[in-house]
Structure formats: structure tokens, C-alpha cells
Amino acid sequence: MEEKPKLLILYATQTGNAMDVAERIGREANRRGCPVSLLSIDQFDPGLLPNQRAVIFVVSTTGQGDTPDSLKVFWRHLLQRHLTRDWLGGVHHAVFGLGDSGYQKYNFVAKKLDKRLSDLGGTPIIERGLGDDQHPSGYEGSLDPWMSLLWSSLYQINPSLFPIGVDVVPDMKLLDQSKVSVRYHVKDGASLIYSTTPDLESRASQIERARLMSPARFPSDKSRPHCWLKMTRNCLLTRAGSGRDVRHLEFGFHSIEVEYEVGDVVEMLPSQNPDAVDAFIRRCNLDPESIITVQLRDSSNPDADVDADAASGLPVRLRTFVESTMDVASASPRRYFFEVMSYFATAEHEKERLEYFASAEGRDDLYQYNQKERRTVLEVLEDFPSVQMPFEWLIQLIPPLKTRAFSISSSPIAHPNEVHLTMSVVSWVTPFKRKRYGLCSKWLAGLDPQQGVFVPVWFQKGLLPAPSPSLPLILIGPGTGCAPFRGFVAERAVQSQYGPTAPILFFFGCRNKEDDFLYSDFWLFHSQDGGVLSEEKGGGFYVAFSRDQPRKVYVQHKMQEHGQRVWDLLSNGASVYIAGSSTKMPSDVMSTFEEIISKESGVPKEAAARWLRALEKAGRYHVEAWS
């Protein structure tokens, strides 16, 4: 019997948004009678791509035009030279990208993927869709009209995919099958096995078990912490009352030491407010002491009973699972969360409002209520008290609790057995004038080193490779962007005691000299008396105080003032390192480099831009930016 044709949907996500979009496309296809195969792109063999009839790609762009980790192997396969121009002949494809137009390389990954698929002979079903976080409705402002056109175009290409047609209105009254199953275990005899103890190894094991069971599919190296760090110092870097809270944090290794290099990143699993976790558990009528295992249902047979023995790992307490994997009090729920809530609302006015939020007509109002206001899962549930969602659906739909990444601001040779961080407490005011804080930064800022605080962490390679002592450096790091460069300078200062080192030119920026001149004593010490930042060593330290004079002065203005020194170092093989805000700063700095190169070398600006692109390709222009 010939198998029915399926629509293949592949997604590449870094934060979960692309997976959400892919799952929504899959649901909409199923509601139109179209069978779907939905996979993370790293679960699909790219060599099988020519065998497909129709493929939908949903891909996100991260950082400064970077490819999500899950897409890298697939992308390398597409770039192989032996692939011919008709390799994808007969394959119809559509690409939807997720990005932020505030970034210089907006939706860069979706654009280059769409072009490469066409270059290999693929036929676009429709023009690629580009979701924009800056849109008043977020990425869904582009997704809704794109999907509408997708179904009609797909039907024209392959009507057999839609046995009931695409003109029918999908029945939104039918609830999909939850993809998660929860098994509850008998507590008797389990209390000793699953008891919570102060032992860090036991806590690490509990975190690992919970995160391995989560449907968020954390990578295995994000399940078990690399190690635990003990906080030894927590001090304020900004002036009290200045309106900004930037902290210098120091940690010592506990039990094992992990090797790291300057430029590396440490990821921390934040601790959720215990009161918020308790409030969520009470609101959902859950037993925090239940012993559970969680697993995904068999997608090929979702109605089949789950084999309890197949559950990954050992059982954990329900409360442990919630606090280790489910972001209940800082992340906003997705649109599908409101749709599922509507099925479980028993109050008619709540059901109507939830159905409106889940509809295309209510999209903008939902965005204003939810994403713009940054409502948390707990707040949304409290706004709709008649809704009692099963725990399986809560696990599936609540955003996962993610690790937070920080650039390391120490050097392993200058600060042995220590890890230093430079952290700004994230805060903002919502449209309804509510003060909000970043979960991890607020938690870290409130920790007292005297209390013996241990934090689970993972070490990762960042986007700023450790430079050799002989490599000249041009560093640009306004605000907390200076964090990795504190480690760079500290390390080179130690290296200079044992042999010659190349010069460092560092441009730092802040608002006021008195309020937020981070690590001022450190920079000034190394810029004097023949230090590694001193002009007599061929380098220099230049700071832009943007608010200390009527005309705002930024790092790019200081770069222009010292354009000759910048060009001299570039001409002598210097590498450029940029760290800081991801909005305008990286693009403004690049434009400034183009102007300096054009002026000092006497070439047109177009030639200077090509020179910079060559510098990027040679691995001598690095950017680590964050929003």
C-alpha cells in the first residue's frame, strides 16, 4: 500500500521560537487534512532532501547573522561543491525566517538558505517570509499572511496533500492530542531515593533527571552542570542612586575545576522565586511531592499508551521538575497557550476572550496584552481563574527555563581557580508602568556570598577567541561589553612579565565618569607607566562619556579621533574584537572602521568595506553582542 504524501517541516531554533512556528504550521496543516513530518533540522539526513516533494523550513537568525547550532551540519552539506544545480530539481520549498530588524544582518540565515535551495534547483512555493520581532505583533505579523498564501500555493502544486481541500475552515473547536505524557509513581518506599538533600551531587543529579525529561529537548551537555561555582564576592560597580545596577561577581570552583580561556562564556541556570513556584503549583492544583516521570508520546501513534519503562531517567519530584525546567514566573506564554486554555475555560466570558486572543483578529490585542506587557505564565493563569489545564499541557506549553549566558571577565592565569562576571541587572517598565526585572540578573544581584551560595554552571566557547600574546588587538566594549576585555587585558599583563607582547588599543564607553565608569582603576593602571594599554607600548585606552557634555560622545567618536592609531594597528595585523549591545552599536562601529580605513589609506569607502569583509573572512573581526 502506497504511503500518503507528507509535508516535511524542518526547523532550526536557538531560543525555541522557530520550533513554535514550525509546530503551528504543522497543526494548521493537520487541521486541513495534510499529514506532516516535523523534525528539528539536525534530526534529518540532508542527503535525503532530493527525495522530498515539499519542504517547509523555519529558521532563526541569532546574534550578528549567526546560524543556529542545529543548522550547522545541514548547511555545510548544502555547501558541498559536488552538488549540482539540479540536485533539488522537483523539490518545492518554502522558508520562513525569524529575526529582528534592529540587527545589522536581519534574517540573514533565512535569506541565504532560501537562495542556496534555489541555486541547487529547488522551486520556491512562495516568497520567503521574514518574521520581525520589531513588528507591532512580533513575528506573527508576517506569519499569518504568509501561511494563508502557503496553503493555497501548496494546494495548486500538490492537491493530494489536502484530501479535504484548503478552502474549508479548520475546526478550531477540536483539541489536539498533548505530545507529553506524565506517569505518577507510588510514593511509598521512594522517599529515601528521591529525597532532597543539601549534597551538590544529589542536586546536580536531580537537575539532570528533570531536564532530560523535559520536552524542551535540552542538549545533553545542558542537562548535567559542568560544575558548581561558589559565590565569593558581589559588589556594586555603579554609583548608588545612579539608576543603573551593574555588579562585579566572583566565584570559586567547588570540588572540580573546569579549564576555560579568556573570551569564553559561562551559562547559569537561574533559581526561580520559591514563592512564585509554590503559587503556580497551588494555582494548578498540583501535588508538589508527587513523584513523576515525563516523556514525549509516540508521534506516529499519539493515542497509544505510554510504556512507563521507556521514560528517560529516574523519577523526580514534581516540584523539582517545575523549578528546574518550567519558566513559570518570568517568560511570557506563546499564542498556542491561549488557544489550549480556551478549551479548559468553564466561565463563558473567559472562553470568549481566550478564543479571541487565539484568533487572527485578536492577534494584535494578544501581543499588547501578553508579549508587550511581558505577562508571565502565572499572571496569565491568575487572569483566567476558571481555566484548569492538565499538567501534561502545562509541561508542553510553558516556556522552558533556560540557562543565561555571561561573558567571563577574568583570566585563568591572572585569576587562578576563579571566575569573574560583570553583570547588569536587567530592568524595564512595561506599557502599563509595571517595573520588570530579568530573572537571572535580579537573582544573582540579591545573593549574599556569606550565605554559602552555590550555582550550577556550564562553560561554553564564546564568539571571541583567545588571542595569542603576539597578536595586536583593537577592542571596542562600551558598558558591560568591557567584560571579556577585562580578562584579555589581565591575561596580557601577566604574559608581558615573561616576554614581549603586542599592543592593545581599547575604546570604552559609558554615560558618566562618576556613575558608571566600570573598572576605572583597572583600566587606568594598565594604561600608565608602560602598561599593556599604554601609548608608549603602542596601544592606548580611550573612554567616551556620552552624557558628561552637551554633545553625546560615543566609542565611534573616540575611534575617529584616533583613526591614525587604529589604521596603524590594522596595517600591522591587528584583530578587532567588539562586545556590547546588539542594537546600533556593532553596525555604527563597523561604519566607523570603514570611514577610518577609507580616510587613512586613501581608498573609496566601497573598497574599505571590502577590506573589512576580508578581515572578517580571515577570522580577524569578531563580534559578541546581546540584546
| Rounded CA separation 33/164 (Å) | 6
| Rounded CA separation 565/404 (Å) | 37
Check whether 440 is labelled as a binding-site residue: yes
- The residues that bridge with 205 in the sheet, in sequence order, are none
Angle between helices 17-31 and 335-344 (to 10 degrees): 50
Check whether 583 is labelled as a binding-site residue: no
Query: 257 by DSSP, 3-state: which?
Result: coil
In what side-by-side order are the strands of the sheet with 621-626? 540-545, 504-510, 473-476, 575-581, 621-626
Who's near 468: CB < 8 A, 6+ residues apart? none
Q: Under a CB-based contact definition with an 8 Å cutoff, are residues 350 and 381 in contact?
A: no
| DSSP per-residue codes, 123-178 | EESSPPEEEETTSTTTTHHHHHHHHHHHHHHHHHH-GGG-TT-SSSPP-TTSPPPP
Check whether 543 is labelled as a binding-site residue: no
Check whether 13 is labelled as a binding-site residue: yes
Which bin fits 601, alpha (ψ -120 to 50), beta or left (φ > 0)? alpha
Check whether 405 is labelled as a binding-site residue: yes
- Closest CA relative to residue 421, chosen from 450, 400, 451, 447: 447
Check whether 238 is labelled as a binding-site residue: no
Check whether 235 is labelled as a binding-site residue: no
Check whether 407 is labelled as a binding-site residue: yes
Query: 510 by DSSP, 3-state: which?
Result: strand
Check whether 429 is labelled as a binding-site residue: no
Check whether 553 is labelled as a binding-site residue: yes
131: how many CB neighbours lie within 10 A of its CB?
A: 25
Check whether 144 is labelled as a binding-site residue: no
Burial class (CB in 10 A: 0-12, 13-18, 19+), 171: exposed
Who's near 548: CB < 8 A, 6+ residues apart? 511, 512, 513
CB environment 438-451: b (16+ within 10 A), e (fewer): bbbbbbbbeeebee
Check whether 626 is labelled as a binding-site residue: yes
Who's near 180: CB < 8 A, 6+ residues apart? 215, 294, 295, 296, 297, 392, 393, 395, 396
Q: Under a CB-based contact definition with an 8 Å cutoff, are residues 615 and 574 in contact?
A: no
Check whether 502 is labelled as a binding-site residue: no
Check whether 232 is labelled as a binding-site residue: no
Check whether 549 is labelled as a binding-site residue: no
H-run or E-run covering 296: strand 291-296
Whether the CA torsion 328, 444, 459, 504 is positive or negative: it is positive
Who's near 159: CB < 8 A, 6+ residues apart? none
Check whether 63 is labelled as a binding-site residue: yes
- Closest CA relative to residue 358, chosen from 343, 374, 347, 379: 343
Beta strands at 404-407 and 265-268: parallel, antiparallel or unpaired? antiparallel
- Closest CA relative to residue 370, chosen from 70, 137, 625, 130: 137
Check whether 133 is labelled as a binding-site residue: yes
Check whether 16 is labelled as a binding-site residue: yes
Check whether 547 is labelled as a binding-site residue: yes
| Rounded CA separation 235/512 (Å) | 19
- Closest CA relative to residue 43, chosen from 74, 80, 6, 88: 74
Check whether 14 is labelled as a binding-site residue: yes
| Rounded CA separation 525/590 (Å) | 29
Check whether 244 is labelled as a binding-site residue: no
Check whether 17 is labelled as a binding-site residue: yes
Q: Under a CB-based contact definition with an 8 Å cutoff, are residues 129 and 161 in contact?
A: no
| Rounded CA separation 230/254 (Å) | 6
Check whether 61 is labelled as a binding-site residue: yes
- Binding residue ranges: 13-18, 60-63, 133, 374, 404-407, 438-441, 480, 546-547, 552-556, 588, 626
- Binding residue ranges for FAD: 374, 404-407, 438-441, 626
- Binding residue ranges for FMN: 13-18, 60-63, 133
- Binding residue ranges for NADP(+): 480, 546-547, 552-556, 588
